Structure 1
């Protein structure tokens, strides 16, 4: 990043880049690196540093982000009107170089946080009771049970149980009209299993209707789950109706309360922290400030033995070669490449293409192609070795930096990460996001100070200080890491204070709805 005694109005990310990034709105006639700006350049958008002919590649981060769709003059705004994926839709050579950038592990560090130790040795960052629905048909009953224990509407229900963070209903819109043996059912069952066994749940009940495709008995058998005093399941049809179901659910949770409340926080190694990495409402600054700062925090967490999960496969498309080079084993890199190929096929048979992304909001913020967005998104993963690649909602067993295959849609992606074991979510945003993810706390990282000032009530930290010249990426990474430790120790995130987390449970639905 270019720095002078007076912060310049632009950012150069690499000497070989064909574009600069505006720090502020630039008007025609302004001079940037000796080049006169043509027209208006919005904040976070790109400025051409030299003439670029039609069909020539355009580089940012010294990586190809697209190809000129018409001649681009020096000082001209570079965006959707003159930059695209090219006639080959981004199918240009990328050097996967499996394992080429693997490096020795950093010296092990030993930070701690105040966690909740479970009897099986796992460590929680929160202590919730969860109500899961097997099917959309049982969602209303699940929500009614949770409402009974709401601290907002019924303060007395949990008054004697201060160590319980809340009772949450995690419902969804699927569970029937699907192939009982298909991929969609497998994903749903994996997701429900990950939540039912999540360390942040001290107790769980699961409610079905009774006749749905997603039979609770089949799910328990497939997942090798058994009921116990803090894990109970039942169906509306067997119980005798909605009112009886709500009554039974309240009674079961009331029985659990003293047992779930019987916990305490104590010093635990940071190796028990697993962060799910998310970005949503990205802008032109995401890959410059919040994402690389989060990457620096990931490097710190990995050095302390912790785990970070990068996801959103459509949003690493075009930058996957930066991950395969860090894979500790060829089969790990190969698995990532295979997931990319699966997505190319999946989007094609659904009449789309991988460059359907970025979203309109991303483009308004300065991101032009999925290649550009992906290069910035990958920065969330820091610089350490890639230790594993997981399919959606699979339990993450490796320590260190890993990848999970998920869609780019934030609620679906984060749901898979939490099912895999993430007990904290870190979510970067440039356009603004309001999001939470029970039972795991979610931290919002603003990419720019304008967003921080406009939407501070939803943001947990302002990474825009990097753009403003008030902080370095490494300094901000340290602050994020310390905030993660504090949050894992029980400090509430802003999304938790607003009550986010229940409606954001969205399992990935694939296949025909029948």
Structure 2
């Protein structure tokens, strides 16, 4: 068997390994670069093999950067595995060059708009939610009681269709319309139930958590900063916050964090303290009354045209595979470049998955201050991992390794492709809210939900989430668009995948074509025309980071 185009790929001319795009049997003959390579064993799709002999301790290059070091001598055509390769990453230091960017053509999107919710501070939401937030875990149950009461009465919850039927029968009986009861069926009941009282309010979302007290005071400070970011997010119309009263995460801290982000916050914000209100019945009654009146105001807001510069898009990957860095991530990176060129904002997070590409990102920073901040955050994070007996080299999961991502540097080099090629305009620590348009680096763990949770708290109003293995993850307030790296996954898990970039692997589509397709979907989602699968499945995942070591 002789390797043909689209059966393998060299990602960068400096790379000394190739990536198999299909399963390649042992002893296959690969013609590459004017030389013949005989495979020493089977190379499964997504995995890598050497194109030159490597001695023990030699460096392995992918994406044009160091991604590993050999543990033994490797002849030409050898499979790269965890048994013969260890993690190795390139050194990084100060900013060493002034980055020049060649932005993509935006002619297709020039003058385009999306239909969003305009906030008084100039932000534009892609959705319109009311938040119910416990300031401490002690209030989780009360928050759920409020949520259940509203969702059932207002029609936002996934109600039992027969329950809807009985509710409408009761109403018709009270109105003396006995003849209509006879003709009522499930379909009619559903139709009557779907007529929302607040059609311009997308729903009620709860941010329950296990924090707010105990732990460290830093945890409570971070939680309040994160919640302040959610309240300020343009996808939020208003919020009801329940406090117990004696916890570490005090309402005064939350107000201080909101003041820091947005001193002129004009949204309705209801904060009630159980230890002041008295009984739970008094607390819940007051919360429900005030929340209902706040929803009346929120429902007055309507979607109106907004320029694409008002998009703030979080970039995430989870359940990655050996194709993620070749198809889905660079396609998302191209979409990110389009958004930045149009004056919008994108966010690249997951700092443990930027290991080995730090110098490239440092050189892309527009200021020395942001470059130094990124380097300091990366070094502090890495040191904290080592201090507890871990390290970034332990980031790849068993699923990642099984599908070709055998070192953190390989995983990181592919993950960073989500950030495209645009300059880095700002670097945000965890729970910092974005201020600068352009590509922002956001300090978060590699954990999918902790990362997406953080980006919404930093202001993301849409998220792109790439996956090669399949991940059922979403966010309460920012619609999450799932993008598969390969067509097999898209066909196997169509219930969670919105976009398939497998055409890049097969050679049917180019990265720019897919990037433009992704932006078209973003516009439809931002306008409320299309609901991503994560929204339809109510995948409202919310996990605050406690700043401990989480890879």
Residue 131 of structure 2 contacts residue 206 of structure 2 at CA under 8 Å; is this kept in 1?
Answer: yes
Q: 1:271 to 1:370 in 2, by over 3 A?
A: same
Residue 309 of structure 1 contacts residue 402 of structure 1 at CA under 8 Å; is this kept in 2?
Answer: yes
Give the C-alpha shift of residue 95 in structure 1.
6.7
Corresponding pairs, count: 500
Q: 1:483 to 1:140 in 2, by over 3 A?
A: same
Partner residue, 1:74: 76
Partner residue, 1:323: 361
Give the C-alpha shift of residue 120 in structure 1.
2.9
> Which runs of 5 or more structure 1 residues have no equivalent in the other structure?
none
Partner residue, 1:85: 87
Match of 1:481 among 512, 519, 537: 519
CA–CA separation in structure 1 for the residues paired with 2:97 and 2:442: 18
Partner residue, 1:429: 467
CA–CA separation in structure 1 for the residues paired with 2:237 and 2:38: 62
Give the C-alpha shift of residue 99 in structure 1.
4.1
Q: 1:35 to 1:102 in 2, by over 3 A?
A: same
Per-residue Cα deviation, 1:248-287 (whole angstroms, up to 9, x for no partner): 3322222222211112111111111000110111111111
CA–CA separation in structure 2 for the residues paired with 1:306 and 1:387: 12
Matched position secondary structure for 1:299: helix
Per-residue Cα deviation, 1:431-483 (whole angstroms, up to 9, x for no partner): 11111112110001100111111111101100111001110000000001111
Partner residue, 2:171: none
Match of 1:19 among 9, 12, 17: 17
CA–CA separation in structure 2 for the residues paired with 1:158 and 1:197: 29
Partner residue, 2:537: 498
Partner residue, 2:28: 30
Partner residue, 1:337: 375
Partner residue, 1:45: 47
Per-residue Cα deviation, 1:310-347 (whole angstroms, up to 9, x for no partner): 11111101111111111111111111111111112211
1:75-474 aligned within 5 A: 75-85=77-87, 90=89, 92-94=90-92, 97-103=95-101, 109-150=110-151, 151=156, 152-153=158-159, 159-180=196-217, 182=218, 184-224=219-259, 230-474=268-512
Moved more, 406-415 or 245-254: 245-254
Matched position secondary structure for 2:495: coil
Residue 325 of structure 2 contacts residue 415 of structure 2 at CA under 8 Å; is this kept in 1?
Answer: yes
CA–CA separation in structure 2 for the residues paired with 1:241 and 1:295: 52
Residue 98 of structure 1 contacts residue 326 of structure 1 at CA under 8 Å; is this kept in 2?
Answer: no
Residue 347 of structure 2 contacts residue 442 of structure 2 at CA under 8 Å; is this kept in 1?
Answer: yes
Matched position secondary structure for 2:143: helix
Question: What is the RMSD computed on CA atoms of the aligned residues?
Answer: 2.2
CA–CA separation in structure 2 for the residues paired with 1:269 and 1:237: 46
CA–CA separation in structure 2 for the residues paired with 1:402 and 1:106: 18
Matched position secondary structure for 2:115: strand
CA–CA separation in structure 2 for the residues paired with 1:265 and 1:418: 20
Moved more, 417-426 or 70-79: 70-79
Give the C-alpha shift of residue 223 in structure 1.
3.6
CA–CA separation in structure 2 for the residues paired with 1:334 and 1:447: 33
> Which runs of 5 or more structure 2 residues have no equivalent in the other structure?
165-192
Give the C-alpha shift of residue 186 in structure 1.
2.6
Matched position secondary structure for 1:77: coil
Matched position secondary structure for 1:149: helix
Give the C-alpha shift of residue 107 in structure 1.
7.9
CA–CA separation in structure 2 for the residues paired with 1:79 and 1:101: 35
Matched position secondary structure for 1:470: coil
Q: Structure 2-normalised TM-score? A: 0.86
CA–CA separation in structure 2 for the residues paired with 1:123 and 1:137: 33
Q: Structure 1-normalised TM-score? A: 0.92
Matched position secondary structure for 2:547: coil
CA–CA separation in structure 1 for the residues paired with 2:376 and 2:253: 30
Matched position secondary structure for 1:70: coil
Moved more, 21-30 or 6-15: 6-15
Matched position secondary structure for 2:364: coil
Give the C-alpha shift of residue 106 in structure 1.
7.0
